[in-house]
Amino acid sequence: MINENNNILIVVDPGHGGWDNGASWEGRLEKDDNLRLGLAVREQLMAQSIPVLMTRDTDVYVTLADRAGVANAAGANLFVSLHRNSYPEQTPTAMGVENYIYLTAPEETTGRAAQLVLDSVVDVGVQADRGVSRGDYYVLRKTVMPAMLLEMGFIINEIDNQLFDEHLLDYAAAIVKGIMQYFDPSTGEASSETLPQCWCPVCPDPAVMQAQILLNYRFGLSMPVTGIFDGATARAAITALQIALNSDWGNELNMDGILCPLTLEAFDRTFAGGHGPIALVLQLTLMLNGYMPGTPDGIFGMRTQQAMQNFQQNNNLATGSGICRDTLLRLFGH
C-alpha cells in the first residue's frame, strides 16, 4: 500500500452532489461550492506532489458509506470533507468558518490537523473563526484515519459568499498549507519532501492510483496501490471484469485475471450506453490507461464514450459504439 512507501494520501471529499444539493440560498447550491473548492484543493495538493483521492470530481451523488469506505480501503492518511454551513434563518452569529472532528477523535492527531487547517484558512480572511468543534457526522464516525469536516462559511450569508468567491484559490492553498504543516518532519510523520517530485512513467500517477483503489474497494481485490499500471494491476482489472461479467450477465468465468477466449467471448461488444459493474470496470481501466471518463460511477455515458473513442483512435483501433476484441486486449494491457 501507499503508506508502506513512506508517502501520504489525502482524501478530499466535496460534500453532497447529484440529486443532493445540500444547503441552498437564492439559487446558490452548496454542492457546487464544495466541488469548486475541492477541485482547487486537489490542484494545490498535486502541485506539491502530494497524492490525492477525490470522492467525487463531477456533479454526482456518492453515498456517505462510499465516501468513508473508499478512504478506508485506500489506507488514506487524512480525510478532508468540504461543506458550506447553513441555518434556518439569518442571525447575527450565522457567519464564519468552523471545522468539525468526531466526538472521540484524539486531540493530538485529528484535533491538531483540524486546528492547523482552520488556522490557515482564518489567516486568509474570514468573518468569524468559529473554532474546532466535535460532531457525530457519518464520514467522521466511519473513517479510520484523522478526519475533518470543514464548513467554509454560511451559504445564507452574503459576505461569507463574497469571501468564498473572491478567495477560493487562497482558501484552497490555505487548506493545503495546514495539511502540510500537519505532516511536518518534526512530528515524525511523513512529509511532502518524501513524496515523488514528478509524475513520470516510473512514478505514481494519481489517476492510476485512484483506479487501483476503487478496483480494490468495489471488487474485493487486494492489489498493491502503486500508481503504476503494471502486470499486477492488469490482472486485477481483468479479474474485476470477470467478476462483473459473472454478476451482470450470469457467466461462469474463472476469476483468474487472464483475458482468455472465454472472457473475450463473454463480453458484448455493443456495450456502450450500458451501466453497472461492467461499465465501472471499463471506466477504471480507461483511467489506468490515462484516459479520464469522468467520475467512475458505473454509467457508460457521453464522457466515457468519448474517452473510449480517444483511446481507440490513439491506438489505431476501430471506433464506434461497439468495443471490439482488439480494444479489450489493448485496454487491459495486452
Q: Which residues are catalytic?
A: 151
Q: How far apart are CA 159 and CA 225, in angstroms?
A: 43
Say whether 8 sits in a helix, a strand or coil.
Answer: coil
% helix, strand, coil for the chain, step of 5? 45, 15, 40
Distance CA 117, CA 150 (A): 9
Secondary structure class of 240 (helix, strand, coil)? helix
Amino acid occupying residue 142: K
SS3 206: helix
Distance CA 246, CA 121 (A): 49
Q: Which residue has the cell 500517477?
A: 205
In terms of C-beta distances under 8 Å and separation of at least 24 residues, what long-range contacts does 303-308 make, across chains too? 304/279, 305/272, 305/273, 308/272, 308/282
- DSSP annotation string for 57-69: SSS----HHHHHH
User: In the numeric block, which cell numbers belong to residue 10?
Assistant: 489525502
Distances (CA, A) of 252 to 125, 206, 266, 269, 278: 60, 34, 10, 18, 15
Q: Are 190 and 8 in contact (CB under 8 A)?
A: yes
CA distance 22 to 30: 5
Reading the block at residue 8, the C-alpha cell is 501520504
Distance in angstroms (rounded) separating the CA atoms of residues 233 and 251 = 23
